[in-house]
Chains A and B, each alone.
Chain A
Amino acid sequence: MTSLPEQRPRVGLFVTCLVDLFRPSVGMAAARLIEAAGCDVVVPRDQTCCGQPAFNSGDRSNAKAIAAQTISAFDGCDYIVVPSGSCAGMLKAHYPELIEGNPEAEEKAHDFSNRVHELVSFLIDVRGLSEVPGAFTGTVTYHDSCSGLRELGIKNQPRKLLTSIKGLLLSEMPECEICCGFGGAFSVKFPDISNAMVEKKTASIAAAEPDLVLAGDLGCLMNMAGKLKRQGRNIACRHVAEVLAGELDEAPIAARVE
């Protein structure tokens, strides 16, 4: 009896609404990395947003409906991979608590949750990736997004992959684990506080003297990039997947398109 060749896992990419709308190049970079980790990528059309705006604003019933829709959209995927700690946390930690009451749906939600991974932790913890396609020369600093760090335990994985890139120097900023002040709707509901928080963050970033700020969440990155730009600081911002995948053709976040 001959053994069958190893099947390439089928990975559903949950691209997140912000990447879909603002920075599709991050989605392309994510797909490239997942493929580099020996998987096939599919992008279900029935995905929209993870539902956090509803969930965190107290609209549980809409959050639940969006959760159910997203879970069904990824039927048949071995893994669901998300280029955001915040949205991955929503899918992994909060969908099972939202879907309650119907045992069949609950089981489906738990099964779904077990298959969900944040992109960088998927590459390392699930696929054991140690080399990435990206190349970069310069100094970067990494901001730990809150949900990725505290809900999913993502801390060393991005640093491990980044420091595997020759010519890339990682310079840690002080207080890299403190919230940038984005918080989704928080930044709109409490813009003054959000602004004060991101001001502290950009000061921390500047202290690391990087060429480039990286993070795993586009929400945080848009906030930090928007502030750095307003302050006239010459520090670029990109999603960590862009550097890891070597997708650097697009201008950095908030930077002028040349």
Chain B
Amino acid sequence: MQPTSHDFKTNARAALSDRQLQEALSGLPGGLVAQRAAARARLPEFDDLRDYGRDLRNHTLDHLDLYLEAYESKVIATGGHVHWAETAEDACVAILRICKAADAKLITKGKSMVSEEIGLNAKLQAADLDVVETDLGEYILQIRNETPSHIIAPAIHLIQEQVEDDFRRQHQHLPKDRPLDQPAELVDEARKILREKFITANVGITGANFLVAETGSSIIVTNEGNGDLTQSLAKVHIVIAAIDKVVPTLNDAAALLRLLARSATGQEITSYTTFSTGPRRADDPDGPQAYHVILLDNGRSELLGSEFREVLRCIRCGACMNHCPVYNAVGGHAYGWVYPGPIGAALNPGLIGVKEAGSLANASTFCGRCEAVCPMRIPLPKLMRRWREIEFEHGETPFLTRFALRSWAALARWPAAYHLISRMTVGTLKLAAGRRGAFTWIPFASGWTSGRDLPAPQGRTFQQLWAERQKTAALLTPTNKEAA
């Protein structure tokens, strides 16, 4: 996917004036946020579990090579194949090769952010393959020709009326008077279309929430069951996952699943949590005939060896974006690439470069709500700040910002001059303000004053007032002065 993260500001402006988007986003606080809070309240050991999860992920990352190799050998032992893909291109090539060997015409797909990251659908379509998204949200986006705006709720930027219009336009062969104003009706409608696809597809592609080194299993969590049909009805099942998805044991996966479902949707466990281990065995009643895993690096091993390693603990629950006031204001598309919200701001510069995605790391007030809810305790503000430092070190910070910062810092490092200039500035501002308590417009701060007033200063600095107070106090107690 071609990133537009460098246009974040422009994207954000458009998002802020998009009425339908704003209506859709207004459901977040009472939806996913409230659900998570309720789930957390029901589990007293939730924060201890977060510590456990963090330590577990750190341990796995410390020995990632070992666990990946163990995972690979288990997959092979259960009859599956592992394909290592260093880049997005490598991953697409491997998938196309498997599809070709299977003589695939129709491919069903479960929800996978990594497939978005590598731009898989475009590659498959360019090779004349028909690919159908089977997650309801992703299916809606596919018929709208849009990308996900959230990592677990991909169509969260849409309201029901928009989806209804899309379905009526796209599904012309279905009765025109069918009711579509309830979510359940939309699901039924999509189901009618998708059932047929599940049965005819030759290849099913899914992502993975976790890969288990102990057993060679891949795990997906869904609420619609579409992932299960995608992976068990097709002849060939391809799992596409990044290398950071591996966990040591089934027990470890269970601990992380408890955190994942609660943090993501506030569920104790999702409707379907599915473990896939290799292809169909001789006495299995069903399952795919072939099982492939694409292990994608795409910049992650570089992050692993960097000061950004902690970002790889992410289990993609989406809690950081649900709780982020910036995400809540502009939605996911403004971020201009696959991973939006705070996790995107911390991760994307590492995957697509600080020049492209550096502005995302700047788009935060550092309110800290993301870190406070992150089940893996990723210090997201700290990582965003570190990207800002790299941007600054590389001279990517805009010239005017740098100039203003440097001048201000020079003054802040020279207290005597600082206090003098403060006095003069404050005096001038007060003079300009008169008795009005605030400015409605002020040069160099028009961004601020375009939406709100700028309060005027009281007229003198605290340092001035304090010096006077000390003088008065000294005059009132001359004996103290003598003693000193």
Contacts and interface: CB of A to CB of B under 8 A. Distances in A.
Given A47-B415, A57-B405, A21 B366 contact: no
B437 interface: yes
A178 interface: yes
A58 B388 contact: yes
A227 B366 contact: no
Contact of A58 (B9, B390, B408, B453): B390
B465 A28 contact: yes
Contact of A66 (B329, B413, B416, B469): B413
Contacts of A229: 437-438, 452-453, 455
A193 B12 contact: yes
Contact of B391 (A58, A189, A195, A227): A58
Interface string A1-40: 0000000000000010001111111011001000000000
Contact of A196 (B329, B413, B422, B426): B329
A251 to B, nearest CB: 6
Interface stretch (B71-79, B134-142, B456-464): B456-464
A37 to B, nearest CB: 18
A121 interface: no
Contact of B329 (A22, A58, A197): A197
**Chain A contact residues, majority secondary structure:** helix
A226 B454 contact: yes
A156 interface: no
Given A20-B463, A179-B365, A188-B447, A57 B458 contact: no
Most chain-A CB neighbours within 10 Å: which of B367, B369, B408, B460? B367
B181 interface: no
A219 B363 CA distance: 18
Given A25-B458, A54-B409, A195-B450, A186 B435 contact: no
A181 interface: yes
B364 A186 contact: yes
B48 interface: no
A20 B418 CA distance: 11
A234 interface: no
Given A60-B389, A62-B409, A226-B438, A191 B451 contact: yes
Nearest to A229: B453
Nearest to A231: B452
B393 interface: yes
Kindly state the interface size class of chain A when it binds its partner: 35 or more
A48 B365 contact: no
Nearest first, the 8 closest Cβ-Cβ pairs linking A and B are A183-B365, A58-B392, A191-B447, A195-B451, A58-B388, A24-B462, A179-B367, A62-B409
A164 to B, nearest CB: 26
Nearest to A199: B451
A21 B412 contact: no
A53 B405 contact: yes
A130 interface: no
B425 interface: yes
B362 interface: yes
A65 B364 CA distance: 24
A214 B121 CA distance: 52
Nearest to A47: B415
B385 interface: yes
22 contacts: A15-B466, A27-B462, A45-B416, A48-B413, A57-B397, A62-B413, A66-B412, A73-B415, A146-B365, A146-B368, A178-B369, A179-B369, A181-B325, A182-B365, A193-B363, A194-B365, A196-B329, A197-B329, A198-B452, A199-B451, A225-B453, A256-B437
